[in-house]
Amino acid sequence: MALTDETDVVRTEEMLLNVGPQHPSTHGVFRMVVKISGETILEAEPVIGYLHRGTEKLAENLQYTQIIPYTDRLDYVSAMLNNYSLVHTVEEALGIAIPDRAEYIRVITMELNRLASHLIFFGTYLLDLGAMTPFLYAFEEREKIIDMFNELCGARITFNYMRIGGVKYDTPPGWLEQVDAFVKRMKGEMVKYRNLVTGNEIFLARVRGVGKYTTEQALGHGMSGINLRCTGYNWDLRKKKPYSIYDRFDWEVPLGKNGDCWDRYILHMEEMEQSLRIVEQALQQIQPGPVLAKVPKLIRVPAGEYYSGIEGTRGELGFYIVSDGKDKPYRLKIRRPSFENLQILPIILKGVPVGDMVAILGSIDPVLGEVGA
Amino acid sequence: MTWTWSNVWHWAAHPLSWPGFVGMLVGAVLVLLLALLVVMYSIYWQRKFIGWIQWRIGPNRVGPWGLFQTVADVLKLLIKEDVIPTGVDRTLFLIAPIFAFVPAFLVLSIIPFSAHHVFTANLGIGVLFYVAVSAITIHGVMLGGWSSNNKWGLIGGMRSAAQMLSYEVPLGMSIVGVVLMAGTLNLNDIVAAQAHTLWYVIPQIVGFVVFIIAGTAEMNRTPFDLPEAESELVAGYHVEYSGFRFAFFMLTEYVYLLAMGGLMATLFLGGWTGPFLPGWLWFAIKVFAFITFQFWLQATMPRMRQDQLMSFSWKVLLPLAMANLVITAVVKALV
């Protein structure tokens, strides 16, 4: 038989590769079914739900204050923001005025938590790309934040610190000075990170132009946060729909241009600097006072539907409450930014090499607790 | 020939005799033990050194300053259950670690450790021998990845084969410059040639840089550690291996570290030559510097991507090595 066609000589076949749920760089129990030909990805299908715990359903049987610790477990690297998003929605529904000091403490803890979360991104992203030292440097600083939180509320990860009407505890003596010292130190660390990582040729070659998408695609997939801003679209809820006391501070929203991994990386780094700026100003403005408003013992949200979103670490984090006037929500829907951000994966993973898969997934920065909820 | 103990250690200079054979055997065992000891403590040094870079202490529990940590680790690997997964190609699975491991030790036989190269072969084609034998390891790695019947292992094995093959070429080319200058392939003679003039690192600086980069890639070390990229391939070609078979692969990697360091010292840094200190110490210092440099890279560099890796080898390193070779040849012809 005459073999004319090359495909007759060498029979090639696509390989179906199961990435996860137990894989070092899926950042949790996340699974991707990937069809590869050689080193090129032809198709990628994310399979989610391995960390589904039914938070939304559980919340239907819980009083509003009791839901707070459950929110800690959603995005478990930035629990303060989850806490805040829930209590903020309830507060808006009830129309409670929050004491000034409580608002300042909230902003300080939220921004520090955002910083801690971005530090994890910085560390794990570089780890995904094969550099292990930044991970330990980042955790060194994160540990300091976590220690401060521990002193503040007695927990390192799952804080359960925010309350409807304020925060649970006032800051212990000397705590604000500690934060101040940390902010000063952290500014030096940021310079170090920039010198160590941001200019590395191999790192640049790995992230420049990789995992690109346009503003339209991002908006079409409901992306938010850094994953949207990296395309150059100016959308930060702290500026666009100001909540809490963010309008009292002088800070900027860093924007990307190309929507690639590099932009997402650098936006994380710049956002860390902005967080430091906000914390610094909050430390100057904070005054003594009460930290918890007068709220009824049993919180009953009037019947109706309420939604409020905040700028979480990963995008718009919102709680949607349907209340029938009882002390428990009739239905609670959580807008989890990681879940929405992941949906673009099949599109941007098509046609990229296997090595870029982890670079792209890492740059989207999902937290699987939030994806599964 | 007669049995005389006087010529036991001089087997390299004489035709093969019984005493020479015994000497060879003892020498081989000694080199093996030495290599194992060096490997053990280079792993310890790796963990300590990288620990310091990363603001950690490193191993400090087993023995004083954690000196026996690697001993404990090796013991653990030795007494582990020997797992052979059901789906594997049994024969290939069993021989793959040997394929990888034996050449690693074979190449040590030609590295001149000291002025009185007692345990090493005075081989006329020394450099060629190194390049040829070290290429066998690729088979072990590839077979290991393929026979494991694991997709990650397969990708790791294939990546490894592609990578080691492409970096073999610039590595060889960078060595040819030195061979041209010395006019010999014999490693002992190359050292001798450098003893009277400059170390070849200065006239062959381009070749040296290419050699270091290609050597790093050849050993699958950061930033070229794609075959065992943990964050992508879980563990790459040795994903299904455990216990002592896994230890064989690890051992291969670190013996090559030693061998590559030795080759570098011999070709570019004058081998065991140096003022004041004894030859073996100079050699040890040079190899130690190379190994530490590798660990330093490991702690600081991210990993390259497969296609970048390949194009870097063929489009950057190879032309560089070729240009270096041509210039060396022209200079040699003119002088």
pLDDT in tens, chain A (373 residues): 445 555 566 777 888 888 878 887 777 788 889 998 878 889 898 888 888 998 999 999 999 999 999 999 888 888 999 999 999 999 989 888 899 999 999 999 999 999 999 999 999 998 888 888 888 999 989 999 999 999 998 888 888 899 898 898 889 999 999 999 999 999 998 998 888 888 888 888 888 888 889 999 999 998 998 999 999 999 888 888 888 888 899 999 999 888 889 999 999 999 999 999 999 999 999 989 898 888 888 888 889 999 998 998 998 999 999 999 888 999 999 999 998 888 898 999 888 888 888 889 889 888 888 888 8
At residue B246, the pLDDT reads: 87
Using the Cα atoms of residue B113, residue B118, residue B119 and residue B120 in order, give the sign of their dihedral. positive
Q: Please answer yes or no on whether A130 and B55 come within 8 Å at the CB atom.
A: no
Superfamily, domain A6-371: Cytochrome-c3 Hydrogenase, chain B (1.10.645.10)
By CA distance, what is B224's nearest residue in A? A130
Contact A119, A272 (CB under 8 A): yes
By CA distance, what is B230's nearest residue in A? A24
Please report the ipTM that was assigned to this predicted complex. Answer: 0.82
The residues, any chain, with a CB within 8 Å of residue B179's CB and separated by 6 or more, are B127, B185, B190
Query: Both tokens of residue A192?
Result: 């170090």
> What is the greatest pairwise CA distance in chain A?
91
pLDDT band at B204 (very low <50, low <70, confident <90, very high): confident
Among A17, A18, A127, beta carbon nearest to B231: A127
Q: Which residue has the higher pLDDT, B12 or B133?
A: B133
What percentage of chain A's residues is helix, strand, coil (to nearest 5)? 50, 15, 40
Residues of A with CB under 8 A from a CB of B: 15, 17-18, 23-25, 39, 126-133, 136-137, 140, 196, 200, 202-203, 205-206, 353-358
Among B56, B299, B305, beta carbon nearest to A355: B305
Local structure of residue A130 (DSSP, 8 states): T
Average pLDDT over residues B116-142: 80
Average pLDDT over residues B203-232: 82
At residue B282, the pLDDT reads: 85
At residue B292, the pLDDT reads: 92
Place of tokens 């190609």: B89
pLDDT in tens, B3-43: 455 555 555 556 677 777 787 788 788 888 888 888 889 99
Query: Both tokens of residue A231?
Result: 């395309």
Residue A355 CB neighbours (<10 A) = 25
Q: Please answer yes or no on whether A136 and B55 come within 8 Å at the CB atom.
A: yes
Q: Please answer yes or no on whether B306 and A202 come within 8 Å at the CB atom.
A: no
Residue A355: which of B88, B225, B278 has the closest Cα? B225
Average pLDDT over residues B59-82: 88
CA distance A128 to chain B (A): 5
Residues of chain B in contact with residue A131, where contact means CB-CB under 8 angstroms, are 300-303
| Residue type at B186 in one-letter notation | N
Q: Where are the domains of chain A?
A: 6-371
Residues of chain B in contact with residue A202, where contact means CB-CB under 8 angstroms, are 223, 301-304
C-alpha A12, offset from chain centre: 41
Among B56, B151, B303, beta carbon nearest to A15: B151
CA distance B53 to chain A (A): 8
At residue A322, the pLDDT reads: 93
Q: Please answer yes or no on whether B302 and A130 come within 8 Å at the CB atom.
A: yes
Q: Please answer yes or no on whether B54 and A136 come within 8 Å at the CB atom.
A: yes
Residues of chain A in contact with residue B55, where contact means CB-CB under 8 angstroms, are 136-137, 140
Residues of chain A in contact with residue B305, where contact means CB-CB under 8 angstroms, are 205-206, 353, 355-356
At residue A1, the pLDDT reads: 44
Residue-averaged pLDDT of chain B: 83
By CA distance, what is B308's nearest residue in A? A205
Residues of chain B in contact with residue A15, where contact means CB-CB under 8 angstroms, are 151
CA distance B243 to chain A (A): 21
Q: Please answer yes or no on whether A205 and B231 come within 8 Å at the CB atom.
A: no
pLDDT in tens, A275-329: 999 999 999 999 898 988 888 888 888 899 999 989 989 989 999 999 998 889 9
Torsion of CA A101, A105, A111, A113, to 10 degrees: -170
At residue B6, the pLDDT reads: 53
Is the omega angle on the peptide bond into residue A21 within 30 degrees of 0, that is, cis?
Answer: yes
Phi then psi for B243, rounded to 5 degrees?
A: 60, -135
At residue A109, the pLDDT reads: 92
Query: Both tokens of residue A87?
Result: 């209590």
Query: Both tokens of residue B181?
Result: 């200058």
At residue B1, the pLDDT reads: 43
Among B232, B299, B300, beta carbon nearest to A355: B232
